Structure 1
Amino acid sequence: MVIALLIIWSGVVLFWYWYNRRHLVKLGSQIPGPVAYPLIGNGLTFWGKPEEVFKKLREIFTMYSRLVAIWLGPKLHVALFDANDVEVVLKSKAVEKAEEYKFLKPWLGDSLLISTGSKFKRNKKLIMPSFHVNNLKRFLDVFNDHALVLVESLREKVGEGEFDIQSYLSTCTINVLLETVMGINKETLGDQATKYSHYVHKLSGLAHMRVYKFWLRPDIIFRFSKVRREQDKYIEIIHGLTEKVIHERKKRWYESKLRDDEGEEKWTVFMDSLLGAKDENGVGLTDEDIKAEVMTMMFAGQDTTTTTLGFTLSLLGIYQDIQDKVLKELDEVFGSSNRPITYDDILKLQYLEQVVQETLRLYPPIPLIAKKPVADIQLDTCAIPAGCTVGIMIMGIQRDPKQFPNPMRFNPDNFLPENIKARNPYSYMPFSAGSRMCVGSKYATILIKVILAMILRSYRVSATRRERQFKLAGQVVLKRCEGYLVSLQLKSDTLNTTPP
């Protein structure tokens, strides 16, 4: 009798599951894509190392011109590569954050990256003033100081042949972030700074693993997995360090008030601005809110900035004619001076900015973002069903020949004003687009230009590996598996720089 009831109950559950999914399955079957198998879908395609998975993804995507349906177990993912389709989706009021972002929540909490609805709108309104350009100018001294330390540390590699510059760039980036976001430096943290960077990288990889290894998606399975135990270990360390810094900074904030003569709040790092932020009712951010936003800034800024710098230097090392144009522009702005870089200098370095933009086009640090339709979205070729995950394939969109002639060619002229105007604005979105656009994009751009300008005022960069030899992997952040291999030569016989 019990067995019979269990069979009946199982049948009812399966029927209910099928009945509620029939619309999604019907519309999903009308979207082109590789053959999916029962229960596992296309899941076996994504079995392997990150670089192998990324290669398989790119192979699938090249087979379809606008969109493709991929099933990870029972979960439907629709990948979009066309700027016009992306515009329809991102402008729709029927989309919200994809469910996959919840995998980051134990680590990043309800930060701007994760939150939705009224909390997202309120907190974004409180945080956005921190990223106003007038506030970012305060950090130029920090940017210059750490970029100069980087330049000096690279002297040991001059004339030594090719090496992976990633660790040098990563050290510079994490030190800048620690100082500008949390107000601490490597001397304060010691080897914890390196560990913090390492744990952020590890957590990013674990989140990526849970997305593509569909059997780890259900909480009931993930809870007892080795991946969960590893994740908890890293989160405990990062949360503990961040909470300690918040406590100390908060104490300092309330003791000194950090106010200038006019009584206005004066802050020196992002955490200060978060501590002082108040909404129209005089209510500020909670300690949990501040912790979430600080960790998100560290996560979003560290690997993305490092990889953009690495790809840019690799490409300049390959394309010497483009590097010549950058060096000419630097000479016009700075001459033979080794003075610090000012904000006015940043504005004058237009060709360098085009080079960075073109690097971000070909190698966006975040190669995709995800959305969840809460209602069907009609495109001109098909309908995207509610309940699926829509992958906005930034890397594919930015290599679309309809938007970028000869899209695989590294060509900074793609970002001349007249060429920008001729394109769909959604054809270039390395920092996302719309209300979810990265609030730190201006911060990242200024920092990247300062570091590149500092390096290229002192060194000439060379690289022997062509772009076709790049081995790419996308563990949340796009990277070169073999590292960013370059060689350096002094532009002059001596470096007239002294580290701070």
Structure 2
Amino acid sequence: MNWLSIFSGALASVSNISIIIWLLLITLLTCRLYKIYYDERAIERRKQISLLPSLTKTYLETINCIWQVASLRPLDTLPYFSSVLKSVGPLVYMNTIIRDYVLINDPDDIKILLSSTQHITKGPEYSILEPWLSTGLLTSTDEKWQTRRKLLTNTFHFKILESYIPAFNHHANGLVQSLAKASKNNEIDLHSHVTLCALDIADIREELQGIFGDSDRDATMEDLKSMFTLERVIKETMRLYPSVPSVTRRLNQPIQLKNHSIPAHSIIAFSIYILHRDESMYPNPEVFDPDRFLPEQCNDRHPYGYLPFSAGSRNCIGQKFAMYLMKTVLSTVVRHMKLETLGTQKDIVVSTQLVLKADSLPSLKLTPLFENHKK
């Protein structure tokens, strides 16, 4: 072995050791800088959170809050959070150890959240839908959501919606047949047929008489547009019983609300069910009153104070479809059946899951207005 080879090998070893040392130094420096950055971010985060009205300022309060929420039955969830907002205010912070939740109920704050194109990521609760829906329009975010939203938008275009009306009529007439059969068999429990919609029958019938007269023809798009009274009834029903009771968003970056700054990685939540019972917008909120949606009653109401289909870029893409469908079905039933409630609104008991669930409903007495119904 010559000395040149030995010297070259030694240089290579020194070089390799130097590279390793430099890599270790860079790694240590990176970790140090990350720790400094993380600590500063954590300090700033704790500072922002400390300024929020909170149910969990201490460790003991956190444990107590987690225990209370975990112990809630679906029936008790909405009343519990409603009482929290009434006692603490329209913004409440809750720590669950693994996540930070901020519950809001101010329409101004809700507007800031929903009108933003940056805060469109659904909360972690929606992940339980992924085995069923995968990451489609409801659960996806960012570019994937934008692509799917754009793809489906034309499906609900006005001209396309008009083509659905014959199908709406077909199924509405089928429902009338089913209800007529149930009434003959003295079946008055309609849970398996329809979801109860509180109706001001005397007025929804007068309006329909003016549109259809004595004809039993199917409804047209123009007919549906003329059903102003029925639309108010539907809107008031959705105010009291929105199909989706709550909405959550996971913040990928901070958001500045009206009076508070919320740090990134927090979960912001609001309850449509609770919002729709805000007494400042809806006096005597538990009273069913379709006149709340007369034009003169709506003009001064906050535009984000009524959100049965949510709002902003992630609003319900099928809301017009749903409204036309409800108008078709309900107008067909009311034209052909006399409906009498065998109970009161107090008999309606709901609980919250991913959607609002009716645990108890009053039954209806059905009387066909005509002997023959279209097959």
Candidates 274, 280, 285, aligned match of 1:396: 274
Candidates 67, 71, 89, aligned match of 2:91: 67
Shift of 1:495: 3.3
Q: Which residue of 1 aligns with 2:301?
A: 423
Distance 1:495 1:139, change over 3 A: farther
Secondary structure in structure 1 of the residue aligned to 2:304: helix
Q: Which residue of 2 aligns with 1:487?
A: 364
Residue 40 of structure 1 contacts residue 74 of structure 1 at CA under 8 Å; is this kept in 2?
Answer: no
Would you tell me which structure has more helix in proportion to its own residues?
A: 1
Secondary structure in structure 2 of the residue aligned to 1:409: coil
Shift of 1:160: 7.1
Q: Distance in 2 between matches of 1:158 and 1:397?
A: 38
Larger Rg: 1 or 2?
Answer: 2
Shift of 1:128: 0.5
Q: Distance in 2 between matches of 1:329 and 1:476?
A: 35
Q: Which residue of 1 aligns with 2:290?
A: 412
Aligned: 1:385 with 2:249: no
Secondary structure in structure 2 of the residue aligned to 1:70: strand
Q: Greater relative contact order: 1 or 2 (C-alpha under 8 angstroms, separation 6 or more)?
A: 1
Residue 82 of structure 1 contacts residue 400 of structure 1 at CA under 8 Å; is this kept in 2?
Answer: no
1:305-360 Cα distance to aligned partner (Å, 9 max, x none): xxxxx242xx22xxxxx221111111111222221111111011111011101111
Q: Distance in 1 between matches of 2:351 and 2:44?
A: 34
Q: Which moved more, 1:113-122 or 1:358-367?
A: 113-122
| Matched residue count | 338
Shift of 1:25: 4.1
1:158-204 Cα distance to aligned partner (Å, 9 max, x none): 277784423213xxxxxxxxxxxxxxxxxxxxxxxxxxxxxxxxxxx
Shift of 1:121: 1.9
Candidates 305, 324, 335, aligned match of 1:457: 335
Q: Which residue of 1 aligns with 2:234?
A: 356
Residue 311 of structure 1 contacts residue 359 of structure 1 at CA under 8 Å; is this kept in 2?
Answer: no
Aligned: 1:125 with 2:146: no
Residue 160 of structure 1 contacts residue 487 of structure 1 at CA under 8 Å; is this kept in 2?
Answer: no
Secondary structure in structure 1 of the residue aligned to 2:94: strand
1:459-478 Cα distance to aligned partner (Å, 9 max, x none): 22222443334322111111
Q: Distance in 1 between matches of 2:343 and 2:139?
A: 38
1:240-298 Cα distance to aligned partner (Å, 9 max, x none): xxxxxxxxxxxxxxxxxxxxxxxxxxxxxxxxxxxxxxxxxxxxxxxxxxxxxxxxxxx
Q: Which residue of 2 aligns with 1:181?
A: none
Q: Distance in 1 between matches of 2:305 and 2:189?
A: 31
Q: Distance in 2 between matches of 1:335 and 1:73?
A: 63
**Partner letter of residue 486 of structure 1?**
S
Residue 90 of structure 1 contacts residue 434 of structure 1 at CA under 8 Å; is this kept in 2?
Answer: yes
Q: Distance in 1 between matches of 2:209 and 2:248?
A: 42
Distance 1:137 1:167, change over 3 A: same
Q: Percent identity?
A: 30
Q: Which moved more, 1:35-44 or 1:435-444?
A: 35-44
Distance 1:374 1:41, change over 3 A: farther
Q: Which residue of 2 aligns with 1:105?
A: 130
**Partner letter of residue 372 of structure 2?**
N
Secondary structure in structure 1 of the residue aligned to 2:205: helix
Residue 45 of structure 1 contacts residue 53 of structure 1 at CA under 8 Å; is this kept in 2?
Answer: no
Candidates 104, 107, 112, aligned match of 1:88: 112
**Partner letter of residue 152 of structure 2?**
I
Q: Distance in 2 between matches of 1:17 and 1:149?
A: 62
Candidates 27, 33, 53, aligned match of 1:32: 53
The 5 Å alignment of 1:236-247 reads none
Q: Normalized against structure 1, the TM-score is what?
A: 0.62
Residue 100 of structure 2 contacts residue 267 of structure 2 at CA under 8 Å; is this kept in 1?
Answer: yes
Secondary structure in structure 1 of the residue aligned to 2:249: strand
**Partner letter of residue 373 of structure 1?**
L
Q: Which moved more, 1:41-50 or 1:123-132?
A: 41-50
Residue 121 of structure 2 contacts residue 142 of structure 2 at CA under 8 Å; is this kept in 1?
Answer: no
Distance 1:466 1:31, change over 3 A: farther
Distance 1:28 1:56, change over 3 A: same
Shift of 1:457: 1.0
Q: Which residue of 2 aligns with 1:374?
A: 252
**Partner letter of residue 30 of structure 1?**
L
Candidates 432, 443, 452, aligned match of 2:321: 443
1:23-65 Cα distance to aligned partner (Å, 9 max, x none): 4444334322434646756222232432133443333334344
**Partner letter of residue 43 of structure 1?**
I
Distance 1:130 1:380, change over 3 A: closer
Residue 54 of structure 1 contacts residue 472 of structure 1 at CA under 8 Å; is this kept in 2?
Answer: no
Aligned: 1:43 with 2:73: no
Shift of 1:364: 0.8
Secondary structure in structure 1 of the residue aligned to 2:365: strand
**Partner letter of residue 395 of structure 1?**
Y
Q: Distance in 1 between matches of 2:324 and 2:231?
A: 9
Shift of 1:491: 5.4
Could you tell me which runs of 5 or more consecutive residues in structure 2 were left unpaired when the two chains were aligned: 1-31
Q: Which residue of 2 aligns with 1:149?
A: 174
**Partner letter of residue 330 of structure 2?**
L
Shift of 1:22: 4.6
Secondary structure in structure 2 of the residue aligned to 1:167: coil
**Partner letter of residue 497 of structure 1?**
H
Distance 1:163 1:387, change over 3 A: farther
**How big is the alpha-carbon RMSD for the aligned residues of Structure 1 and Structure 2?**
2.8
Q: Distance in 1 between matches of 2:228 and 2:136?
A: 33
Shift of 1:136: 1.5
Shift of 1:496: 2.6
Distance 1:461 1:29, change over 3 A: farther
Residue 180 of structure 2 contacts residue 368 of structure 2 at CA under 8 Å; is this kept in 1?
Answer: no
Shift of 1:418: 2.6
Aligned: 1:497 with 2:366: no
Q: Distance in 2 between matches of 1:28 and 1:159?
A: 62
Secondary structure in structure 2 of the residue aligned to 1:426: coil
Residue 347 of structure 2 contacts residue 362 of structure 2 at CA under 8 Å; is this kept in 1?
Answer: no
**Partner letter of residue 109 of structure 2?**
D
